[in-house]
Amino acid sequence: MGFLRERFGPTASISVMRPGEWSAAYSVGSADADLVARFSAYDEDFEKDAYAARYSSSALPIPTIIEWGPVLGAFYAVAERMSGEHLEGLDEKRMRRVLPSLFAALDAMRAIDLSAASGFGGWHADGRATHPTWRAQLRGIATDPATRGAPGSRELLQASPTGVGPFDEGVARLRELVDQCPEERHLIHDDLINFNVLVDGDHISAVLDWGSSMWGDFLYDVAKLVFYRPRYPVWRNIDFAAEARAHYDSIGLAVPHFTERLTCYTLRIGLADMAYSAYRKRWEQVASKARRTLEIARA
C-alpha cells in the first residue's frame, strides 16, 4: 500500500482485489486512470503479460502493461483495468451467448504468426521455450516439476493420500494418444478457467494473466473448458467439445484427430492439476481431479 500511495499519490483510491496463486492485486483509481497493480516474487509472468499485449485485438482484448519492475525485494506491474464480469459467473444461457466471442478469441490466438519462434510449452519473453517438441511437452508431465520450484509431479503425488495410481493410469493413456497430436505452434493461454476472462454483455472484454501461456496445439484451450465443465453445474448441458467442433466446421477448418487430441490434452490438464494441488497440499482437490482424470482415461 505504501508503495502505491507514493507512486499514485494520497488521493488515489486503492483497494485489495482477489488474491491470486502467485501474485497480489490492487485496484488503483485516480482522476487520470483506472488501473490494476500486481505484486509477485517473480517477474516472468509480468514480462509475458507485456509481451502478449502486442497481440491484442478487438477479438482478443489484452490489457496493456503500463510499467513493471522491481520493488521491495519483489516485482510489480501496473496495467489498465478492464471492465466486465468473470466468465465463471455466467449461467448456461449467458455462456451459450458468449461462446461465439470466446471461440473468436481462440481463433485470434490461433492466427498469430509464431513462425519465428522455436520450441514448445511454456515460453519466455526472450523467445525461449521449455521443450523442443509439442509431444515432448505432453510426455514431460511424467517427469517435469509440478510448478516452478516444485519437485516432479509423480514425487508429489506419492506423498498424497490419493497416491500415484490415478496419475500412472492417466500417463499411460496419454502416451497412447500423444502421437496423434500435431507438431504445430499456436499461442495457448492455458488458464482460461481461473477468473482470467472478462465478459461484457455477450462479448469477451478481456483475457488476463498470460503467465501460464504455452506454445502448442490450439485445441489445448478447448480442453481446459472440457476438463473443468463439471466444476460448474450450470454448464452441465453445454458440450464444449461438440460446440468447438461445430465452430470449426462452420469456419471450414479441418481438425484431424479432434477427439484423440482433445482427450490427450484433457488428460494432461488433469495430471498437471493433480500434481499442483498436491504441491499445495490440497488433498481433496487431488482426489477430485484424480476422479475426473480417470473418468477421461477410461471413457
Domain boundaries, the chain: 2-80, 85-297
**Mean of pLDDT over the chain:** 94
What does the angle CA 253 – CA 257 – CA 259 come to, to the nearest 5 degrees?
100
pLDDT exceeds 70 at position 19: no
pLDDT tens-digit series, residues 218-245: 999 999 999 999 999 999 999 999 999 9
Q: List the end-to-end C-alpha distance of the chain, in Å, as a whole number.
A: 50
Superfamily name and number for 2-80: Phosphorylase Kinase; domain 1 (3.30.200.20)
Quick one: what percent of the chain has pLDDT higher than 90?
A: 79
Mean pLDDT, range 30-41, rounded to an integer: 86
Per-residue pLDDT tens over the stretch 129-166: 999 999 999 999 999 988 888 889 999 999 999 999 99
Query: Sorting pLDDT into bands at 50, 70 and 90, what band is 1?
Result: low
Tally of CA atoms within 13 A in the half-sphere of 102 that contains its CB? 26
- State yes or no: pLDDT of 205 exceeds 70: yes
50-73 pLDDT, tens digit per residue, is 999 999 999 999 999 999 899 988
Backbone angles phi, psi at 49, to 5 degrees: -60, -45
pLDDT of residue 169: 98
Residue 121 has phi, psi (to 5 degrees) of: 85, -155
Kindly report the length of the chain.
299
Q: Mean pLDDT over residues 177-189, rounded?
A: 98
Q: Could you report the per-residue pLDDT of 252-276, keeping only the tens digit for each?
A: 999 999 999 999 999 999 999 999 9
Number of CB atoms found within 10 A of residue 179's CB: 10
The secondary element (H helix, E strand) that includes residue 109 is helix 92-110
Please state which CATH class domain 85-297 belongs to: alpha beta
Grid coordinates given for 191 = 488458464
pLDDT for residue 137: 98
Split at pLDDT 50, 70, 90, the class of 24 is confident
If you ran DSSP here, which 8-state letter would residue 152 be given?
A: B
Q: Where are the beta strands (DSSP E) in the chain?
A: 13-16, 23-29, 34-40, 65-71, 74-80, 85-86, 120-123, 129-131, 186-188, 197-200, 203-207, 214-216
